[in-house]
């Protein structure tokens, strides 16, 4: 029996996040002294170019937040009132709120029980004449089944978009997440593997989407001929990234692949300890996932005690664990009057997504920062999770 009154893993056992060093400090001082702190500054434009090269994508626009990246991307795709966007219920709120903020209706498709990513057959059943896009979320950094989703999008002449907020460094069949669909949105918020504290990016190879997104993020000004007050003016906003975030992101990008590789190694250690553990269901390997960001190590708790009780025991032991997402349609935002004001109509009846509901009750997250711990710490962590699982049966 584990005595959780004394933490097995005291504070400091696992790395803190985000991580920074002298490189960030020196670069920030250079930005400070340069005197150009925003408004399409050289650092923001440089990071957009570097990030595009990293992804293998033609166009990147740096913006203030990941949420804003989603909102502006949807607007650039011409999505608004009367349109529908298929989304997963197992995701962060921004995936769905962005759809509503542009006036469109989120339509919930069910997810794969093991991964939390969109289930293609459920998506297919959700397509209607009003569907304009599928918004695929790479949950925990594991890419969705992009082959199946691409077929559905092509057959129905709709857009396939990526919410890649968890997937910096992940790849599907050798292609980086963010470059797997018509366009993508990234977040650089503090918890992300590539972080500037805040920030986001719109990524696309579609020149029409890029041109429109550029105008929307730059106060309506066109890329060409859009001087201080020039260019075609849309109902845009100021979504431009400040130089501070871009300065940090340029340094963080240099570390990204090495950190992803280390998190992948850490996950393999946990796999070895938990593969035979009672009450724990690990997601199966998918050879099409050729690299993984390691944002979250996710598994399902199917043992005797409630998931939240199991997670509480893990946390008491000092392990960096928490529960997964609840289905978004259980949350009050869809019933709030602001939703109807944005979309022009009430949300309607609660959808049926049984796998998302089950995952919401069973998912456990081992945080990505924990995967950067020394190998011995991760071996002991896996053993501790397995022992706690046996006690909770």
Q: Using a cut of 0.85, tell me whether the model's pTM lies above it.
A: yes
- Dist. CA 365–CA 259, nearest whole Å: 18
User: In CATH, which of 3.40.640.10, 3.40.718.10, 1.10.510.10, 3.40.50.300 is domain 22-252?
Assistant: 3.40.640.10
179-198 pLDDT, tens digit each: 999 999 999 999 999 999 99
Q: How high is the pLDDT of residue 270?
A: 98
The band of 233, judged by pLDDT with boundaries at 50, 70 and 90, is confident
Structure tokens at 377: 């710490």
Q: ∠ at Cα 99 (47, 56), nearest 5°?
A: 30
The band of 4, judged by pLDDT with boundaries at 50, 70 and 90, is very low
122-132 pLDDT, tens digit each: 999 999 999 99
- Dist. CA 244–CA 302, nearest whole Å: 44
Give the mean pLDDT of 267-275.
98
Give the mean pLDDT of 344-367.
95
- Compute φ and ψ for 259, nearest 5 degrees: -70, -40
Q: Which of 332, 323, 326 is nearest to 360 (CA)?
A: 326
Q: Which of 305, 320, 390 is nearest to 7 (CA)?
A: 320
Q: Which of 190, 194, 198, 168 is nearest to 69 (CA)?
A: 198
Would you call 97 exposed, middle or buried from its count of C-beta atoms within 10 A (0-12, 13-18, 19+)? buried
Instruction: Write down the domain spans for the chain.
Output: 22-252, 256-392
Proportion of the chain in helix, strand, coil states, percent, rounded to 5: 40, 15, 40
Give the mean pLDDT of 124-142.
98
Domain at 256-392, CATH class: alpha beta
Residue 154 has pLDDT above 60, yes or no: yes
Residue 5 has pLDDT above 70, yes or no: no
């Amino acid at each position: 029996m584990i005595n959780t009154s004394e933490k097995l893993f005291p504070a400091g056992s696992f790395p803190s996040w985000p991580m920074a060093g002298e490189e960030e400090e020196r670069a920030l001082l250079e930005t400070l002294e340069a005197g150009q702190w925003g408004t399409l500054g050289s650092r923001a434009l440089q990071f957009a170019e570097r990030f595009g090269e990293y992804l293998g994508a033609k166009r990147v626009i740096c913006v203030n937040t990941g949420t804003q990246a989603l909102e502006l991307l949807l607007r650039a795709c011409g999505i608004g009132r009367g349109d529908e966007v298929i989304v997963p219920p197992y995701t962060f709120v921004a995936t769905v709120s962005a759809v509503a903020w542009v006036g469109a209706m989120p339509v919930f498709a069910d997810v794969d029980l093991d991964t939390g990513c969109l289930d293609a057959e459920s998506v297919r059943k959700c397509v209607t004449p009003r569907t304009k896009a599928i918004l695929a979320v790479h949950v925990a950094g594991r890419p969705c089944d992009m082959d199946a989703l691409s077929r559905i999008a092509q057959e129905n002449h709709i857009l396939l978009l990526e919410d890649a907020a968890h997937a910096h460094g992940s790849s599907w069949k050798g292609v980086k997440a963010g470059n797997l669909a018509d366009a993508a949105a990234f977040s650089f918020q503090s918890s992300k593997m590539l972080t500037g504290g805040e920030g986001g990016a719109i990524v696309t190879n579609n020149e029409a989407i890029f041109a429109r997104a550029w105008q929307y993020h730059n106060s309506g000004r066109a890329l060409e001929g859009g001087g201080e007050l020039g260019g075609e003016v849309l109902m845009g906003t100021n979504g431009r990234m400040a130089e501070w975030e871009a300065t940090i992101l340029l340094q963080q990008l240099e570390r990204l692949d090495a950190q992803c590789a280390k998190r992948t190694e850490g996950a393999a250690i946990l796999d070895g300890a938990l593969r035979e553990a009672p009450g724990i269901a690990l997601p199966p390997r998918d050879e099409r996932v050729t690299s993984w960001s390691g944002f979250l190590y996710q598994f399902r708790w199917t043992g005797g005690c409630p998931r939240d009780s199991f997670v509480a025991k893990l946390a008491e032991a000092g392990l960096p664990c928490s529960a997964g997402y609840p289905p978004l349609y259980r949350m009050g935002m869809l019933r709030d009057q602001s939703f109807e004001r944005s979309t022009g109509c009430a949300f309607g009846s609660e959808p049926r997504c049984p796998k998302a509901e089950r995952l919401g009750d069973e998912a456990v997250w081992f945080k990505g920062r924990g995967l950067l711990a020394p190998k011995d710490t991760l071996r002991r962590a896996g053993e501790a999770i397995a022992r706690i699982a046996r006690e909770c049966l």
